[in-house]
Amino acid sequence: MAVAKARLIEPLKRMAVDLTPSALVIGGGMAGMASALNLADQGFEVSLVEKSERLGGIANRIHRTINGGDVQAYLHQQIDRITNHPKIRVHLGSRVVDSSGYVGNFVTRLNVGNGTEEEIRHGVTILAIGGQEFKPEEYYYGKDERVLTGLELEEGLALHPERYANCDNVVMIQCVGSRNEEHPWCSRVCCAKSVKNALRLKELNPEMNIYILYRDMRTYGLMEDFFNEAREKGIVFLRFDPEDSPVVTKVRGHGKDLLQVEIKDALLGERFAIDTDLLQLATAVLPPEDNKVLSQFYKVPINQDGFFLEAHMKLRPVDFATEGVYLCGLCHNPKSIEESISQANAAASRASTILSKEKLETEGAIAYIDKDLCVGCRGCLDVCPYTAISYVDEKAKCEVNEVLCKGCGGCAATCSSGSIALRGFRFDQIYAQIEKAFETM
């Protein structure tokens, strides 16, 4: 009886495990570089992996922020710091081909080119693989050199401004490829980019007529000031309904071939036809192609739109449910450079809370599996939110990784064979509590 009683009150034991005090940052864009520098400046070893042969990502195509900041100067400064930092090792032209392990002890294999692979051991992972620009098929894009995306026009204004200084009319169409059935999300940065490009065109030629055709202008926060500035400088904003989107045709006028944009103004209810020398399309920001692959490697979720899904929008905005893996930048959702850098620093701060420890201490009330009872049905694998349970083919049994388990009890409630229980919450312990409760009634 004394032995049975002792089993009912056995203390919960925590296990301490060693960790690898280094980080792996996947993605060499603005967000990836910011998080890598943040961690390296704290003294941690960082491996920075970029699939292309150049750091910077999409920021290589952005030259100014809406408030006039020099993006290229800042980018080159960051690249110089990265390449000369003693704590950062850069892997260009490299891709992740496999990953295993858990918080504090990840093992990632890279394809570094020429059929060569390299293994990296690290304690935490930060995913910052950026996004991509949608390439439309409508509005003569790709068929007429006068039709550009917002990013392409920004590049042209920075590198060859003389090409656009003599334009008489310029039209910009918002929400091309976003906020529709295929891509239902708002890409957030498009409105500010169009306003930025329009103001730059006005600098080149104050007499230029510029029309921005929009569904909803979302120059949120302090960017509202630039929207007001654009209106004061004569830039015309015309609102259209998505059911009656602008129509673009080619016409001959003023002795040259023009693009004609027809729009029904949603506020006035009248139709306008605008002959334009240049047409800018504000295209959608898409999730990166590698999101699905990396989500499998690191056992992290993506949402229905294809972007990485954080653990909690307010309480854990840069964490995944999988401990030790963090996210930042466009792979999470569309955001500006400033927002990406802020999120990257947040991700690095969260990662440092793991790396700064000498050892990782596991939870006390964690799940364990009675291998004599386990039938290998794998039902527990589907319900574990921390991917703490794995199936061992050789044994035809399931096993619990005690470092990853958080003791939520979902597996124990699901197990049809009754082989899973939580330490401190075994069936005999729970029944003893119930019996004792009835005795006191």
SS3 363: coil
pLDDT band at 15, cuts 50/70/90? low
Q: What is the pLDDT of residues 146-162, one digit of tens each?
A: 999 999 999 999 999 99
Give the per-residue pLDDT at 11. 57
Q: What is the pLDDT of residues 106-133, one digit of tens each?
A: 999 999 988 899 999 999 999 999 999 9
pLDDT at 9 over 60: no
Give the per-residue pLDDT at 6. 45
Give the per-residue pLDDT at 3. 45
Distance CA(149)–CA(241), nearest Å, equals 21
pLDDT at 335 over 80: yes
Q: Scanning the structure block, which residue is given the tokens 């027809």?
A: 262
Distance CA(47)–CA(51), nearest Å, equals 13
Joined tokens for residue 206: 């104050």
Distance CA(30)–CA(60), nearest Å, equals 9
Distance CA(327)–CA(35), nearest Å, equals 10
Q: Scanning the structure block, which residue is given the tokens 């939520």?
A: 408
User: 55, 90 in Cβ contact below 8 A?
Assistant: yes
Determine the distance from the C-alpha atom of residue 54 to the mean position of all C-alpha atoms in its chain, rounded to a whole number.
20
Give the per-residue pLDDT at 1. 41
Q: What is the mean pLDDT of residues 278-297?
A: 95
pLDDT at 313 over 50: yes
- Beta-carbon contacts of 431 under 8 Å, excluding residues fewer than 6 positions away, are none
Closest by CA position to 193, among listed 79, 337, 5, 74: 337
pLDDT at 364 over 80: no
pLDDT band at 424, cuts 50/70/90? confident
pLDDT band at 361, cuts 50/70/90? confident
Q: What is the pLDDT of residues 17-33, one digit of tens each?
A: 788 999 999 999 999 99
State the chain's mean pLDDT as an integer: 92
Check residues 35 and 439 and name the one with the higher pLDDT.
Answer: 35
Which secondary structure element, helix H or strand E, spans residue 23, and what is its range?
strand 22-26
pLDDT at 404 over 90: no
Q: What is the mean pLDDT of residues 286-297?
A: 94
Distance CA(311)–CA(313), nearest Å, equals 7
Closest by CA position to 279, among listed 184, 201, 220: 201
Strand partners, 24: 47, 125
The burial of 155, by beta-carbon neighbours within 10 Å (0-12 exposed, 13-18 middle, 19 or more buried), is given as: middle
pLDDT at 4 over 50: no
pLDDT at 232 over 90: yes
pLDDT at 72 over 70: yes
Which secondary structure element, helix H or strand E, spans residue 272, and what is its range?
strand 271-276
Check residues 371 and 332 and name the one with the higher pLDDT.
Answer: 332
pTM above the 0.85 mark? yes
SS3 374: coil
- Three-state secondary structure readout of 119-166: EEEECEEEECCCCEECCCCCCCCCCCCCEEEHHHHHHHHHHCHHHCCC
Domains assigned to the chain: 16-131+287-359 (3.50.50.60), 133-285 (3.50.50.60), 364-439 (3.30.70.20)
Give the per-residue pLDDT at 215. 95
User: 309, 109 in Cβ contact below 8 A?
Assistant: no
